[in-house]
Amino acid sequence: MYMNIKQLTQDAGLKLKLYLATLGEPLDKAHEVTSAGDAGLRSGELSELTIITDLKPDGARNLRLIFETLKGNLTGARKVGTLHDMRFVFLENDTKLLFCTCYDGDWDTYINDFATKIPEMMDLIFGNIEGWPGIKSPTVKEFILSKQITASAWFVSHPNLTVADTTRLEKIGAGLNKLLEL
């Protein structure tokens, strides 16, 4: 009983600190975070995917060579029209890889886009992780799900702006800027 009261007191203290830190702002329904399906979170039109996985021997070295050769610029991924961002981080003395990405829409469509639009790059990069079956393998989605972990919390500033929306707004802004220069 004592532990329960102690825990309740600690929880109440934490909730009070949270309330004060946010100045009692109500939760914004536009930023509601829900499940993206089997794994991952979704906010508005956007979803997240986070993977932590073991690297093959020399996997980190190979990936560093790829990233250095490209100067960190993975613009080829732009062919996947639903991709907002992706990050690769080496962990635990280069034995593990953290991969995080944000994308528009559904998980299956996103994975299918990679398989059809940049399959060679996918296999070049992810071929450095243990057990990678290949992007065209019928088991690739099961493999990805087995490595995917759902974020504990996630914030998106503009959850209803897709990549297509952002591109359109950039073009509108550029056009308006040209008009204003006249």
- Residue 42's pLDDT band (boundaries 50, 70, 90)? very high
Task: Tell me which of 6-10, 36-40, 41-45, 83-87 is least confident.
Answer: 6-10
pLDDT digits 0-9 by tens, 164-174 = 988 898 899 98
Read off the pLDDT band of 96 (50, 70, 90). Answer: very high
Domains and CATH numbers, the chain: 34-172 (3.30.70.1090)
Mean pLDDT of 3-30: 69
Mean pLDDT (whole number) for 112-120: 93
Which of the two residues, 14 and 97, has the higher pLDDT score? 97
Asked if residue 45 lies in contact with residue 164, where contact means CB atoms within 8 angstroms, the answer is: no
Q: What is the reported pTM? A: 0.81
Query: What's the Cα-to-Cα distance from 33 to each of 30, 39, 58, 101, 159, rounded to whole Å?
Result: 9, 13, 37, 16, 10
